[in-house]
Amino acid sequence: MSGFPFSAVVGMAELRLGLVLNAVSPGIGGVLVRGEKGTAKSTMVRGLAAILPDVAVVAGCRFSCDPADPDPSCPDGPHEPGAASVTRPARLVELPVGASEDRLVGALDIERALTEGVKAYEPGLLAAAHRGVLYVDEVNLLHDHLVDLLLDAAALGTCYVERDGVSVRHAARFLLVGTMNPEEGELRPQLLDRFGLTVEAAAPRDAGQRGEVVRRRLAYDADPAGFAERWQQTESGLAARIVAAQGLLPDVVLPDATLRQVASVCAAFDVDGLRADLVTARAAIAHAAWEGRGEVTAIDVRAAARLALPHRRRRQPFDAPQLDEEELDRALAGAGEDPDDDPGPGDDGPGGGEPEASHETTPAQDAPSPRAEAAPDPGPDGQPPGPAAQAPAQPRPGAAPAGPPAAPGPVFRVKRLEVPGTGTGAAGRRSRARTESGHVTGAQRPRDRAARIHVPATFTAAAPYQVARGRAPGGGLLLRPGDLREARHEGRESNLVLFVVDASGSMAARARMGAVKGAVLSLLLDAYQRRDKVGMVTFRGSGAELALPPTFSVEAAAARLSALPTGGRTPLAAGLLRAGDLLRAERIRDPRRRPLLVLVTDGRATAGADPVAGAHRAAGLLAAAGVHSVVVDCESGPVRLGLAGAVAQSLGGVLLRLEHLAAAPLAESVRAISGGFRGVAPPGQQEQEVA
Ligand SMILES: [Zn+2]
């Protein structure tokens, strides 16, 4: 059956260009496509393979060896020079987010090695994708473990599998294409950086274009083969242009002045390391080849920078990749004014640098960017942020009647909070759990096919039957499938971390809210690193509010938190009851994911009928439901009532003072985070009094 033709997708010029440039020059390193659901991004990616040149492979080799240069470590090799070859279309291989490790890297059959004495290896998706396209839809939801395997293979161009001392290695070079919906959570920075280019995909806003999308879709659905045939000529033209550009690529010249533009654009956008320069240069060269030019110009640099730089800028961990076009033009124009040289082709660039007052790129979000605030270093005493740095904030017009939201305090590395006991949830980095990887804690009889053979336990199981099975003296051990034992592993799972945040006046009046927000942001960052799902309930005034339904998008949580208004009375009971409702629903939706409730409060309860007793009753209900809680006590000042301790007791949970949340003295913790996350400066300590 014919797929939807690549060239028939309406609009999406950036995505088309990103994919084509990679097809011309695979060294660029792939494309990450960001965008909401319902754009044709997957359709376009799936259409890509059809316009890629065919590949010649050694006949019968399951690892797609190139007859001209076979992989010396090929498991199906060694191939004789001049071995028969076949030519086949380039493949597009899809990696499902829930794939097992065996499916990705291939399965070494240890059962057969032990019971039949043969080395049996079933190639995985990495082998299938060699010399083609590896496509990961919803790459942001891929398990960490698979991400690591994928990154290793992509970096080395090799897939390596080892199980119980038996190992296999084969070449795995592929064009990596990932798509993601940013609303469902961001990508780990390490993985983000691995993609050569990023493009934003959006459905066309133009009514004419939208109509054309529908028209083509209907025509395709009515007659896929006929539709494909009508587009065949355009597709062939595109394929031929790719081949021509591939041929031209080695001869494209990158003049010094243009290379300087690449460097100066990368410097202007404050990117990490030199990877960005390299990718931009490669993409610019590919763009020149694609346009049929033998020399790279500013036009090529501009096109390359727009795709190569947005995700490489130093930024807050919760900010989306972005690039300001005017800034880009200024940087390109600025590079031309090198006094040592001719102006160079800088004036080829479209637009030209307008001498406008420099303005920061502003993300389209309602939250104040913590980066915009002044960022004084935390005190050298290592104390967590108190009501320090009393810089009065500008009240924002139109803010909630309770007063403008307090800016978050510094972000720091927090202690690991975990759910006690051993869970069985999805792999992650928080609480102890039975997992498929992790360290071995014992052996058991496998339920179906053994995941990981526990060799000593298998031999022990087989030993008593050797005489009965007629083992010859000096002969090997006689194993039967029933002897096989698999290893039991323990690792860590991810959890649902539900924040229940007191946003009432009793917290705000003490100018604590900035520090509290900083602490919750720190916990969110921690949750992001541990692959947790997060949710947030806030309470103030007359009730509680579900500020964020459970999601993997920590960015969404950070944005809601930054904008959180504060003030009013303290309906603690309402907050806890709302949390209880939400956890009941989540237990049905995602039963294996154990929740961790983090209550951020000073322990006061002043709203609702019989507020204090009500709060303790609500806390008791959560404890009875088996919810594990941590109470972060935000009370400050010389006279302390210790109310949060009593709430923690009713919850049957752990009490932790806000000041004790940091994993190490604060100054160290802040630095540690900055090192681990590119470009994270501690946000400002701006605080304000709220009536
Ligand atoms: Zn081979």
Taking the centre of ligand 1 as the mean of its atom positions, its distance from the CA of residue 159, in whole angstroms, is 13
- Say whether pLDDT at 240 is over 50: yes
Q: Looking at the whole model, is its pTM more than 0.75? A: no
State both tokens at 261.
């533009």
Q: What is the pLDDT of residue 460?
A: 78
Taking the centre of ligand 1 as the mean of its atom positions, its distance from the CA of residue 151, in whole angstroms, is 23
- Say whether pLDDT at 152 is over 60: yes
Are the CB atoms for 15 and 33 separated by under 8 Å? yes
Give residue 242's Cα distance to chain centre: 31
- Cis-peptide into 401, omega within 30 deg: no
Q: What is the pLDDT of residue 399?
A: 33
As a three-state string, the secondary structure of 225-283 is HHHHHHCHHHHHHHHHHHHHHHHHHHHCECCHHHHHHHHHHHHHCCECCCHHHHHHHHH
* Cα separation values, 582 from 456, 494, 499, Å: 46, 18, 11
Residue with tokens 């591939």: 246
pLDDT band at 320, cuts 50/70/90? low
Rounded Cα distance between 113 and 123, Å, is 16
Taking the centre of ligand 1 as the mean of its atom positions, its distance from the CA of residue 49, in whole angstroms, is 22
Rounded Cα distance between 389 and 392, Å, is 9
Q: For all residues of the chain together, what is the average pLDDT?
A: 78
Q: What are the residues whose beta carbons fall under 8 Å from the beta carbon of 406, sequence distance 6 or more?
A: 393, 508, 511, 513, 514, 517, 566, 686, 687, 688, 690
Taking the centre of ligand 1 as the mean of its atom positions, its distance from the CA of residue 80, in whole angstroms, is 10
Indicate if 452 belongs to the active site.
no
Taking the centre of ligand 1 as the mean of its atom positions, its distance from the CA of residue 46, in whole angstroms, is 26
Count, residues in the chain: 691
Looking at mean pLDDT, say which of 37-41, 115-119, 134-138 comes out highest: 134-138
Neighbours of 588 (CB within 10 A): 7
**Rounded CA Rg of the chain:** 29
Q: What is the pLDDT of residue 321?
A: 66
Higher-confidence residue of 391 and 289: namely 289
Taking the centre of ligand 1 as the mean of its atom positions, its distance from the CA of residue 87, in whole angstroms, is 14
Q: What is the pLDDT of residue 272?
A: 72
Rounded Cα distance between 480 and 326, Å, is 70
Element spanning 656, H or E: strand 654-657
- Calculate mean pLDDT across residues 360-366: 36
Sheet order of strands, 197-200 included: 92-94, 133-137, 175-180, 31-34, 197-200
DSSP 311: G
- Say whether pLDDT at 256 is over 90: yes
- Calculate mean pLDDT across residues 410-425: 82
Q: Which of 210, 230, 275, 657 is catalytic?
A: 275
Residue with tokens 């590395």: 413
Q: What is the pLDDT of residue 509?
A: 55
Q: What is the pLDDT of residue 371?
A: 36
Strands 486-493 and 439-444, sheet pairing: antiparallel
Q: What is the pLDDT of residue 361?
A: 35
Q: What is the pLDDT of residue 316?
A: 55
Residue 484's SS3 state is coil
Q: What is the pLDDT of residue 681?
A: 32
- Say whether pLDDT at 64 is over 70: yes
pLDDT digits (tens, 9 = 90+) for 440-492: 777 777 777 666 778 778 877 777 777 788 777 767 777 877 888 887 777 88
**Which residues, in sequence order, are bridge partners of residue 540?**
543
- Say whether pLDDT at 621 is over 90: yes
Q: What is the pLDDT of residue 319?
A: 58
